[in-house]
Chain A
Amino acid sequence: IVLTQSPGTLSLSPGERATLSCRASQSVSKSYLAWYQQKPGQAPRLLIYGASSRATGIPDRFSGSESGTDFTLTISRLEPEDFALYYCQQYGSSPLTFGGGTKVEIK
């Protein structure tokens, strides 16, 4: 399954709402989609699994949703620490695949 993330870069200000898209080339079994955040020089961190379940310790400003083969990560109000790279990943079928990433940068 190919995952296409858009936009490639999102330029926003702190306090604004961020909407990140991940489109799958085919149906993702059982909503088996996750989102990760990665900052420079760090390992990825799990944010969302099962398309909409927040991982342990993730603030509720992060939310995930799906509509068919379209998945969305929403950050309701950007905090300074949220400016980073975000990846989606499907685990509904083998091989596991990741999207190409969306960079959220400070405007």
Chain B
Amino acid sequence: EVQLLESGGGLVQPGGSLRLSCAASGFTFSDNAMTWVRQAPGKGLEWVSSISSGAASYYADFVQGRFIISRDNSENTVYLQMNSLSAEDTAVYYCAQRRQWLEYWGQGTLVTVSS
């Protein structure tokens, strides 16, 4: 059974940083691209970043160099380092398997940026 478990969300002040983690199990992690998608409260889905099986990274324009996606195949974990956070980054952040259609999703972790 595929499982994706996000962690690392929480309350952070504007300008602050957070690192999200997504622990994967139930599939060969190293063979799969992984993706982060976010959903602001009451809003739709928005692609944030993806990383290929070979660790090539891709970002949405709004990231503007503030976020870094990475992976640790020995730990079956994908990370999203988020810096210079603003209120507009407040959202539930989901990790998902693949970077085309998104096969499986985690339950999400809530990031709240507020003073």
Q: Does A87 contact B (CB under 8 A)?
A: yes
Q: Is the CB of A34 within 8 A of B102?
A: yes
B interface size (C-beta, 8 A): 20
Residues of B within 8 A of A99 (CB): 44
Task: List CB contacts (< 8 Å) of A1-58 with chain B.
Answer: 32, 34, 36, 42-46, 49-50, 55
Most buried by A among B101, B103, B107: B101
Residues of B within 8 A of A34 (CB): 101-102
Q: Is the CB of B47 within 8 A of A43?
A: no
In the assembly, what is the distance between CA of A45 and CA of B104, in Å? 7
A interface size (C-beta, 8 A): 22
Q: Is the CB of B107 within 8 A of A43?
A: yes
Partner of B45, one of A46, A94, A98: A98
Chain B 73-115: CB-based contact to A (< 8 A → 1; otherwise 0): 0000000000000000000001000011111111110000000
In the assembly, what is the distance between CA of A100 and CA of B45, in Å? 8
Partner of A95, one of B44, B60, B101, B103: B60
Partner of A55, one of B94, B99, B100, B103: B103
Q: Is the CB of A98 within 8 A of B46?
A: yes
Closest to A42 in B: B107
Q: Is the CB of B103 within 8 A of A87?
A: no
Can you name 19 A-B residue pairings with CB atoms under 8 Å?
A: A32-B100, A34-B101, A36-B102, A43-B107, A44-B94, A46-B105, A49-B101, A87-B44, A87-B45, A89-B102, A91-B99, A91-B100, A91-B101, A95-B47, A95-B61, A96-B35, A98-B44, A99-B44, A100-B44
Mark B residues whose CB is within 8 Å of A.
35, 44-47, 50, 58, 60-61, 94, 99-108
Mark A residues whose CB is within 8 Å of B.
32, 34, 36, 42-46, 49-50, 55, 87, 89, 91, 94-101
